[in-house]
Amino acid sequence: MLAYFARRILVLIPTLLGISIIVFLMLRITPGDPAELLLGERATEEALQEIREHLGLNEPLHVQYGMFLKRLMKGDLGETIWSRQKVWIEVKERFPATIELSVTALFISCFFGIIFGIISATRQYSIFDYLSMLGALIGVSMPIFWLGLVFMLIFSLHLGWLPLSGRLSVGIDLEVITNFYILDSVLTKNWTALKDALWHIIMPAVTLSTIPMAIVARMTRSAMLEVLRQDYIKTAKAKGLSQFIVTFKHALRNALIPVVTTIGLQFGVALGGAILTETIFAWPGVGKWMFDAVMKRDYMVIQGGTLFIAALFVVINLVVDMLYAVINPRITVQ
Amino acid sequence: MKRGNPRKSPEDRHPLLDQLSQLWRNKTAVAGLIIVAGFVFAAFLAPVLSPHDPVETSLYDQLKPPVWADGGAKKNILGTDDLGRDILSRIIYGARVSLIVAVVSVGLAFVLGTLLGSFSGYYKGSLDNVIMRIMDIILAFPYLLLAIVVVAYLGPSLQNAMMAIGITYVPRFARIVRGSVLEECEKDYVMAARAVGARDWRIIFIAILPNCLGPLIVQTTLSFASAILDAAALSFLGLGAQPPTPEWGAMIARSRALILRASWVMTFPGIAILLAVLGFNLLGDGLRDALDPRLRD
């Protein structure tokens, strides 16, 4: 198992290098002068010269990449063009919000997706099965930015049940420790803040969970169907075990193995979708920050944010693969 | 030119056709096919079908509600937007924009992916390694993020959005084609083709690829669905179609400011996206069942 883990971690290195090369090249192969692209058309000649010097834009490409990589190793993602702050500091401020939103969304999608998948599989071709699979197909076809707006219109503007946007209402005090508001409010036993934070996260998280939920439900259903056909399930039933035990103890364990991999991939869907969801709900995370940067053409932010999110996604997939190996030891034997 | 071509025996039919004929028995696939046909029909006949010019503004008809609501009129069945443009006409023309985006971006991914995948599977070795590692790296970016970033660099426009979506879809095609080509290469007919001295490109494109069509057709259909969705998302963010192009995602973006005053401006383009994407997904699922049972998820 350890050898397998070591091999997987080693494979991570070329992937991360590849990501850094793509992000590095994007600025350089875009038509036009990279310095001007970074600073805008109205930048002074001195400023342009300064940034060329700083990023080594006059050097050959491989030297530039060397400089880029060296900075990256030190955790230096450069400075934002607009606020003149370290990109890394801005990422650190915002990523807890994104993680909080995506993890909540994934939690919702796994919970409901797996339950719906199980019921559909145990009652194959029933009305419930048809309806939930039709629902799942609608789910994967959903333009989530539109769904978010529909939710907003119904649940906050018409019914007034849920707050329109943001992470916390004005006037709610919360001592920030980790920047994960739900966690912080539990840690400081601030129940008003906890309720407020939960109320704020419901709509964006449900919006973001739509597509992963549908995919998880379909995956769970087909994995369960496959497992339920196997002989050991027949044996278990023949032994006189109850349907419940057979489904949840015997079948589900094996059926969940492929589902876990899917969930890892869904994190990528959620991180990509976070740009849309955060923009709609004014959720102050990495996604909205990157969208604002795209609008302001702050390429240092785009570059840093892309690197961060892609690296995060790769690491999460690695963790999922390792989890996969733990629950399914067969995979480590090649 | 007459050749002895008596009645074709059933064995002469391409097996793909036999599999496709099963599609009719699949209700969801037929439902998908109907939706897709309607969508393509609307796209092609947009000038005939739409009652008004999609970009013509009309000062006196601003924010008219749909015909069944109070204050609605038959002139604008689905109402008008804040510039008095007819929403129904914009949605019909939007089908055209979405279809073009889907065809161009998926077409780009299809051609590039098929080329890279077949070289990878046919020549194997280090070429295979290099190509597939590049595909892995593209896949290492979360789906929508890469498209957004590419457009951010190239500049917002529908053309660049199509290109960005196309690039991000290349790996799915490359992987599928590579897998099928690897499998086919082991078969006798490839060896026979080599033995008679056929050139590599002929073996790949004339002999092998036609046998990999099933999974490719499925992937293309499903990619149409996600391309329409992604293009709408990019346009919603202001990175795709620019005004006054009647594009569904851009229409929703514009309606955000009117969400309380005129919810219909937002509602109908969303339903249009959902239906079009659903149609291709239903059809893709049905095709998968008919053509490639192995791919069922």
Q: Which two tokens stand for residue B250?
A: 């851009």
> What's the pLDDT at B293?
57
- State pLDDT tens for residues B147-186: 888 888 888 899 999 999 999 999 999 998 998 888 888 8
Whether residue B142 and residue A310 make contact (CB cut-off 8 A), yes or no, is yes
Residue A223, C-beta contacts closer than 8 angstroms, at least 6 positions apart: A117, A255, A256, A257, A258, A259
Helix (H, G, I), strand (E, B) or coil at A86: strand
Span of A73-82, A137-146, A282-291, B279-288 with lowest mean pLDDT: A73-82
Among A125, A149, A216, the strongest candidate for a mutation testing the B interface, having the largest count of B CBs within 10 A, is A149
> What's the pLDDT at A216?
93
pLDDT exceeds cutoff 80 at A220: yes
Residues A72 and A20: beta-carbon distance below 8 Å? yes
* Ramachandran assignment for A135, one of left (phi > 0), alpha (psi -120 to 50 degrees), beta (any other): alpha
Chain B residues touching residue A36 (CB < 8 angstroms):
none
**Whole-angstrom Cα distance, residue B283 to residue B287?**
6
**Whole-angstrom Cα distance, residue A282 to residue A288?**
7
Is residue B142 exposed (0-12), middle (13-18) or buried (19+ Cβ within 10 Å)?
buried
**ipTM over the 0.90 cut-off:** no
Dihedral (Cα; A191, A194, A199, A201), 10-degree rounding: -170
Tell me the backbone φ, ψ of residue B80, rounded to 5 degrees.
Answer: -130, 165
Q: For every one of its 297 residues, what pLDDT tens digit does chain B have, with 9 covering 90 and above?
A: 445 555 555 566 676 777 777 777 778 888 899 999 999 999 898 888 888 788 777 777 777 778 777 777 777 777 777 777 888 889 999 999 999 999 999 999 999 999 999 999 888 888 998 898 889 888 888 878 888 888 888 888 999 999 999 999 999 999 989 988 888 888 888 888 888 888 888 888 888 888 888 888 889 999 999 999 999 999 999 898 888 888 999 989 888 888 777 788 888 999 999 999 999 999 998 888 877 655 444
Whether residue A138 and residue B274 make contact (CB cut-off 8 A), yes or no, is yes
Q: Which of B28, B145, B278 sits opposite A138 (nearest CB)?
A: B278
B10 cis-preceded (ω within 30 degrees of 0): no
Chain B residues touching residue A22 (CB < 8 angstroms):
137-138, 141
Chain B residues touching residue A299 (CB < 8 angstroms):
152-153
Residues B16 and B214: beta-carbon distance below 8 Å? yes
Q: Which of B136, B144, B252 sits opposite A275 (nearest CB)?
A: B144
pLDDT exceeds cutoff 70 at A158: yes
Residues A155 and A189: beta-carbon distance below 8 Å? no
**Whole-angstrom Cα distance, residue B273 to residue B255?**
15
Residues B59 and B37: beta-carbon distance below 8 Å? no
**Whole-angstrom Cα distance, residue A72 to residue A68?**
6
State mean pLDDT over A71-78. Answer: 80
CA distances to A115, A266, B44, B287 from A111, in Å: 6, 14, 43, 30
- State pLDDT tens for residues A279-308: 999 999 898 998 888 888 888 888 888 888
∠ at Cα B236 (B230, B237), nearest 5°? 95
Q: Which two tokens stand for residue A125?
A: 């071709």
State mean pLDDT over A103-117. Answer: 93
Q: Which of A140, A157, A306 sits opposite B145 (nearest CB)?
A: A306
**Whole-angstrom Cα distance, residue B284 to residue B287?**
5
Residues B272 and B38: beta-carbon distance below 8 Å? no
Chain B residues touching residue A279 (CB < 8 angstroms):
237
> What's the pLDDT at A253?
82
- State pLDDT tens for residues A183-216: 888 888 788 888 888 888 999 999 999 999 999 9
> What number of C-beta contacts closer than 8 Å exist between A and B?
130
∠ at Cα A82 (A80, A85), nearest 5°? 40
Report pTM: 0.88
What number of CA atoms fall less than 13 Å from residue B22's CA on the CB side?
Answer: 13
Chain B residues touching residue A272 (CB < 8 angstroms):
142-145
> What's the pLDDT at B112?
95
Whether residue A137 and residue B282 make contact (CB cut-off 8 A), yes or no, is yes
> What's the pLDDT at B294?
55
> What's the pLDDT at B6?
53
